A and B are shown apart, each in its own frame.
Chain A
Amino acid sequence: DAGVIQSPRHEVTEMGQEVTLRCKPISGHDYLFWYRQTMMRGLELLIYFNNNVPIDDSGMPEDRFSAKMPNASFSTLKIQPSEPRDSAVYFCASSFGQGADEQYFGPGTRLTVT
């Protein structure tokens, strides 16, 4: 298995532009998580899905952020419009079951908003 796949690996964009991050979870995993990592705040959970349905989006910082999971093998995290404070590494992770099951992380997307 290729593991969790994220694209792009690096994204540089100007303030005000729309950014779309993509994730392909491990096949057979029912849970998908989006995290954001910065030096100041560490690794923060943004939103997670169970069987393609958003369960908890309380970590999404504001309405500029949205996430979708149209099918079991694909999810997107969109920021519109982007701001410099959105600069971070965004990770997607998936797990087989609920709760204590280990999460498998992708390599991350490093986003820089200038």
Chain B
Amino acid sequence: SQKIEQNSEALNIQEGKTATLTCNYTNYSPAYLQWYRQDPGRGPVFLLLIRENEKEKRKERLKVTFDTTLKQSLFHITASQPADSATYLCALGWAGADGLTFGKGTHLIIQP
């Protein structure tokens, strides 16, 4: 069965630095990959989408890469701020299916 791995340990980053989060998967490569942000007590909020034929996408301070050879997506937050502290979830989707398979998320802490 498909397995998705995200850093299980919390990631502590100093304010102003770039935070890099990893999402690795096994077996079949997805048709697309999405990243969500989740704050305590709230539902996930969509951030970025990247498709299998795309290498990189950017949105403001966010950047996501997708390497189907390594079976890995990297999510970067540049010039990180304490307000970026949250749990970040990667989610995989496949052609012909509309549901997402989520990783367990990485808890990011930006320290001032």
Given the complex of chains A and B, what is the CA–CA distance between A98 and B42 in angstroms?
A: 24
Main secondary structure of the interface of A (DSSP, over half): strand
- Does residue A50 face the partner (Cβ distance < 8 Å to B)? yes
Interface residues in chain B, defined as those with a beta carbon under 8 Å from any beta carbon in chain A = 31-32, 34, 41-46, 49, 51, 89, 93, 95, 97-105
Scoring A residues 65 to 87 as 1 if CB is less than 8 Å from chain B, else 0, what string do you get?
A: 00000000000000000000000
Please name 13 pairs of A and B residues whose Cβ atoms are closer than 8 Å in the assembled complex, sorted by A.
A33-B100, A42-B103, A43-B105, A48-B99, A55-B98, A93-B43, A99-B32, A99-B97, A99-B98, A100-B51, A106-B43, A107-B41, A108-B42
**Cβ of A42 and Cβ of B104 under 8 Å apart?**
yes
Size range of the interface on A?
Answer: 20 to 34
